[in-house]
Amino acid sequence: MGSIGSVTLVGAGSGGWDLITVRGLRALSQASVVVYDNLIDRRLLRFAVNAVELVYAGKRPGKHAMTQDEINSILVDRALKGHRVVRLKGGDPLTFGRGEEECDYVARMGIPCSIIPGVTSYNAAAARIGLPLAGREAASNFIVTTGVRAGGARLDRDSISKIIGSAHTAVFLMSTRILETIVEEAGRKHGMPPPVLAVSKLGYPDEQIVWPDRFASERPPKIEPPSVIFVGGSVRWLEKRRGYYRLV
């Protein structure tokens, strides 16, 4: 391959392989190299029909297949060799996905880079349970945050309290380690049971949906990552409809 290639960041969606966009699926089918994350549905890889190389670059808590610098280097190296590279990322590349870091690095190396959005974990989880992130009856605004900051620092109690207090619906990603504090602050601001609803392992066989009454019990359940935690008005709205509001 003599000419320079390209890099496309593709959001694979969350909760199932078929939540990827048509545009993302087209890019995947045309790729000659695919660099993929841990949280994608592996069935997506069967659509990489023209790929000559599949590179696993997954990251799990405390266990990374490769560093971010190594991922960046692979993207550039393969593109400079003329490959059409797809960086397949769980959820959406620009929602706590480091997509901006990767595309910025690639672009600074003079390589064409584009981004195809994907269904985020919180969008997919909200749709799974019928929870409106914002709506006329439920909530007029929502805030999405992560429980882990750059360098591994966790969101502190004061920050959690402010987020819950300023949003009709607060959405916490990557926050299982601070769940207890989220529940405590939600109960303090909104009363008991705390308006906290968690969706764990969305789309997996062991998917778990935990309602507010479980968090109010003496022995609240343990939530496994990956998870999405919802707090606030939308949870109260959905809880009132729990008896008849069923989605599949």
Domain that holds residue 172: 121-240
Contact 88, 33 (CB under 8 A): no
Q: Given this model, what pLDDT does residue 246 score?
A: 60
Nearest-5° Cα angle at 112, 111 to 113: 110
Q: Given this model, what pLDDT does residue 122 score?
A: 96
Judge if 132 and 175 occupy the same domain: yes
Judge if 37 and 108 occupy the same domain: yes
* CA pair distance 120, 182, nearest whole angstrom: 21
Residue 245 maps to a domain: no
* CA pair distance 119, 93, nearest whole angstrom: 10
Q: Which one from 1, 59, 81, 201 is the annotated catalytic residue? A: 59
> For this structure, is 1 an active site residue?
no
Q: Given this model, what pLDDT does residue 136 score?
A: 83
Residue 142 maps to a domain: yes
Q: Which one from 156, 174, 201, 222 is the annotated catalytic residue? A: 174
> For this structure, is 59 an active site residue?
yes
Judge if 234 and 167 occupy the same domain: yes
Judge if 111 and 126 occupy the same domain: no
Judge if 185 and 106 occupy the same domain: no
Judge if 20 and 112 occupy the same domain: yes
Phi/psi of residue 196, each to 5°?
-120, 130
Judge if 146 and 227 occupy the same domain: yes
Q: What is the pLDDT of residues 190-225, one digit of tens each?
A: 888 999 999 999 988 999 999 999 999 888 888 999
Q: What is the pLDDT of residues 25-80, one digit of tens each?
A: 999 999 999 999 999 999 999 999 999 999 999 876 656 679 999 999 999 999 99
* Residue 220 tokens, joined: 């609240």
Q: pTM, whole model, 2 decimals?
A: 0.91
* CA pair distance 82, 9, nearest whole angstrom: 17
Judge if 20 and 107 occupy the same domain: yes
Q: Given this model, what pLDDT does residue 202 score?
A: 93
**Domains contained in the chain, number:** 2
* CA pair distance 221, 19, nearest whole angstrom: 29
> For this structure, is 37 an active site residue?
yes
